Amino acid sequence: MGPVFYLAAIAASFAVPKPPNIVMIFSDDHARQAISCYGSRLVSTPNIDQLAKEGARFDRHYTTNPLCAPSRATLLTGRSSHSNGIRDNASEFDGTQVTFPKLLQSAGYQTAVIGKWHLTSKPTGFDHWEVLPGQGSYYNPEFLTPRGSLVRHGYVTEVITQRALAWIANRGPQPFFLLVGHKAPHRNWVPGLNQLHLFADKTFPEPATLRTDYDGLVSEAKNVHMRLDRDIRSAEDLMVDTVPPRADKTQIQVWERIMQPQDEEYKKSLARSGDLLGTNYQRYVREYTRCVAGVDESVGEILRFLRKYRLLDNTVVVYSSDQGFFIGENGWYDKRWFYEPSAGTPLIVRPASGLGHSRSVKSLTSNLDFAPTFLDLAGIKPPDTMQGRSLVPLVKGVAPSVNRDVVYGHFYESNDPDHKVPRYVAVCTSRHKLIYYYDLQEWELFDLAQDAAETQNLWPDGVSRAVRVELLNRLTSQQRVLREDQALIRQVERAVQEAVKSS
Ligand code: CA
């Protein structure tokens, strides 16, 4: 080969851009209401905000089945629960399915998952994995690896971060995908020793619906087991007079020194005010936001590491959660409902080398879109079986302003003795939300432009017939497009026909 050809070959190799690395930081139960760039009144998250300053913040991102394991299965497969087989937390994930990490591997990526996994079966499609068994532990957590299990000393968020950075430092030369799965801020909310001093004197503002009477919502809303004045447990959930399970002697000493005065204050405050709801709310939000502060610190560490080793210019960083969470709205903790606090999910994407400015994306997006997005970034065409769409054009701001005009939701869990949230199917458009609780045969319809907190069910008379019929049609057409279970489609279509007839 002569020198000209040689130089031409070098030029060509530079002309082909290397596909970017992707780091996805995926926390558990982290609501938009607890992220300051989403306008949180509860906590400041400077590191997550930094991602949003240099990238796209998705304001209408939804989890199609707002529960832990189903959300994770949809992340991996780009398919709905009925299609990937994970309808609730009890099912076992079939790891032989097509997932985006497997497709990334076949395109030459190295892949790793570190931290929360929560899919019962062993990870597939990952060259490297070290995952928490089930929900995992906040202190001195056990990890499962291909070589067996081991215990790592420390606080889970910090341990996962250190393991993630160690993996990046020791990776090979190929582009990589890394899934950092945080356990925090999942129930029960146990902060790290480094966060116990935070917010000790802070009084958190109450959401407008904390003290709701549940009038205007579906009949079962008042009965579900997620109320701060009834169902939350003082020892197991709020950690009053309790030390973290698995903590060692030194950790317990630090914990007790800091927390015992706070426990006394909680009990005194309760005795003084007699306000169980308000007192539990304050204690709950304090522990939850402390867990969030730990996650935010992890995001900062990962960003600083990528910057220091000059990886940030070729690494896409994504922050999201498996779904949102109630932080006192409707007097609740937990998730499961299709209401905004739980089905609405944070999503921030910082493209490689950053956008240079912040962008807020108002289009509706779904967690079905993750897998096609990661494949798009790697230059791979998503298989037709995936049901989402790439978000890359929305990140760049080159897509039409509306990516989807509707998102679909389906909550299946009927075997959960702990929460008792009724099953439903739902659609959400840019303005309205329609929910059908098919076991109860009850409908809910909200106008999000007029009633962002979803306090007033407008079914059946609160909107025009045209709006109602339009939403009903959207619901059945989404079920057909997503190839929902036939029996359910027929059941919902019968209910829709009844509803249209009587409207
Ligand atoms: Ca979760």
Q: Is the pLDDT of residue 460 over 90?
A: no
Please indicate, yes or no, whether residues 223 and 181 belong to a single structural domain of this protein: no
Q: What was the pLDDT predicted at 13? A: 47
What is the rounded CA–CA span in Å between residue 257 and residue 442?
Answer: 51
Q: Select the more confidently predicted residue: 237 or 415.
A: 237
In a domain, 421, yes or no: no
Give the mean pLDDT of 101-117.
Answer: 98
Here the tokens at position 409 are: 């939701």
How far is ligand 1, taken at its centre, from the CA of residue 242, in Å? 23
Q: What was the pLDDT predicted at 155? A: 98
Q: Is the pLDDT of residue 2 over 50?
A: no
Q: Is the pLDDT of residue 14 over 60?
A: no
Q: What was the pLDDT predicted at 189? A: 98
Q: Is the pLDDT of residue 476 over 50?
A: yes
How far is ligand 1, taken at its centre, from the CA of residue 342, in Å? 10
Q: What was the pLDDT predicted at 466? A: 96
Please indicate, yes or no, whether residues 104 and 146 belong to a single structural domain of this protein: yes
Neighbours of 8 (CB within 10 A): 12
Give the mean pLDDT of 136-150.
Answer: 98
Range of the domain at 311: 19-190+292-404
Please indicate, yes or no, whether residues 141 and 197 belong to a single structural domain of this protein: no
* Mean of all residue pLDDT scores within the chain: 95
Please indicate, yes or no, whether residues 96 and 49 belong to a single structural domain of this protein: yes
Angle at 46 between CA 40 and CA 51, to 5 degrees: 100
**Cα distances (Å, whole numbers) of residue 353 to 16, 21, 312, 471:** 17, 11, 6, 41
Please indicate, yes or no, whether residues 117 and 255 belong to a single structural domain of this protein: no
How far is ligand 1, taken at its centre, from the CA of residue 411, in Å? 14
* Contact between 462 and 450 (Cβ < 8 Å): no
Residue 368, domain CATH: 3.40.720.10
Give the mean pLDDT of 260-278.
Answer: 98
What is the rounded CA–CA span in Å between residue 295 and residue 118?
Answer: 18
How far is ligand 1, taken at its centre, from the CA of residue 94, in Å? 20
Q: What was the pLDDT predicted at 12? A: 46
How far is ligand 1, taken at its centre, from the CA of residue 479, in Å? 24
Please indicate, yes or no, whether residues 147 and 37 belong to a single structural domain of this protein: yes
In a domain, 415, yes or no: no
Please indicate, yes or no, whether residues 213 and 181 belong to a single structural domain of this protein: no
Neighbours of 270 (CB within 10 A): 17
CA 390 and chain centroid, separation: 18
Give the mean pLDDT of 384-391.
Answer: 96
**What is the number of structural domains in the chain?**
3
How far is ligand 1, taken at its centre, from the CA of residue 70, in Å? 9
Q: 134-159 in b/e burial notation, b at 16+ Cβ within 10 A?
A: eebbbbbbebbeeeeeeeeebbbbbb
Q: How far apart are the first and last CA of the chain?
A: 78
Digit-coded pLDDT (tens) for 285-300 = 999 999 999 999 999 9
How far is ligand 1, taken at its centre, from the CA of residue 29, in Å? 4
Radius of gyration of the chain, Cα coordinates, nearest whole angstrom = 23
What is the rounded CA–CA span in Å between residue 317 and residue 55?
Answer: 9
* Contact between 310 and 169 (Cβ < 8 Å): no
Digit-coded pLDDT (tens) for 198-234 = 999 999 999 999 999 999 999 999 999 999 999 999 9
Model pTM?
Answer: 0.96
How far is ligand 1, taken at its centre, from the CA of residue 185, in Å? 9
How far is ligand 1, taken at its centre, from the CA of residue 64, in Å? 13
- Chain length of the chain: 503
In a domain, 276, yes or no: yes
How far is ligand 1, taken at its centre, from the CA of residue 339, in Å? 15
Q: Phi and psi (nearest 5°) for 110?
A: -100, 140
Q: Is the pLDDT of residue 10 over 70?
A: no
Which one of 283, 312, 333 terminates a domain?
283
In a domain, 304, yes or no: yes
How far is ligand 1, taken at its centre, from the CA of residue 224, in Å? 18
Give the mean pLDDT of 465-484.
Answer: 96
Digit-coded pLDDT (tens) for 54-89 = 999 999 999 999 999 999 999 999 999 999 999 999
How far is ligand 1, taken at its centre, from the CA of residue 57, in Å? 20
* Contact between 476 and 493 (Cβ < 8 Å): yes
How far is ligand 1, taken at its centre, from the CA of residue 323, in Å? 6
Please indicate, yes or no, whether residues 148 and 218 belong to a single structural domain of this protein: no
DSSP string, 173-228: SS-EEEEEE--TTPSS----GGGTTTTTT--PPPPTTTT---TTS-GGGGTSS-BT
Q: What was the pLDDT predicted at 401? A: 63
How far is ligand 1, taken at its centre, from the CA of residue 72, in Å? 9
How far is ligand 1, taken at its centre, from the CA of residue 322, in Å? 5
How far is ligand 1, taken at its centre, from the CA of residue 67, in Å? 6
How far is ligand 1, taken at its centre, from the CA of residue 346, in Å? 12
Which one of 242, 265, 283 terminates a domain?
283
How far is ligand 1, taken at its centre, from the CA of residue 40, in Å? 19
**Cα distances (Å, whole numbers) of residue 288 to 30, 135, 226, 370, 400:** 9, 16, 15, 26, 37
Give the mean pLDDT of 457-467.
Answer: 94
**Cα distances (Å, whole numbers) of residue 122 to 23, 27, 95, 101, 408:** 21, 19, 7, 14, 29
Could you tell me what percent of the chain has a pLDDT over 90? 92
Please indicate, yes or no, whether residues 183 and 74 belong to a single structural domain of this protein: yes
How far is ligand 1, taken at its centre, from the CA of residue 85, in Å? 18
Q: Is the pLDDT of residue 416 over 90?
A: no
Q: What was the pLDDT predicted at 1? A: 41
Which one of 264, 283, 302 terminates a domain?
283
In a domain, 248, yes or no: yes
Burial of 132 (0-12, 13-18, 19+ CB in 10 A): buried
How far is ligand 1, taken at its centre, from the CA of residue 271, in Å? 33
In a domain, 148, yes or no: yes
What is the rounded CA–CA span in Å between residue 151 and residue 359?
Answer: 41
Please indicate, yes or no, whether residues 107 and 125 belong to a single structural domain of this protein: yes
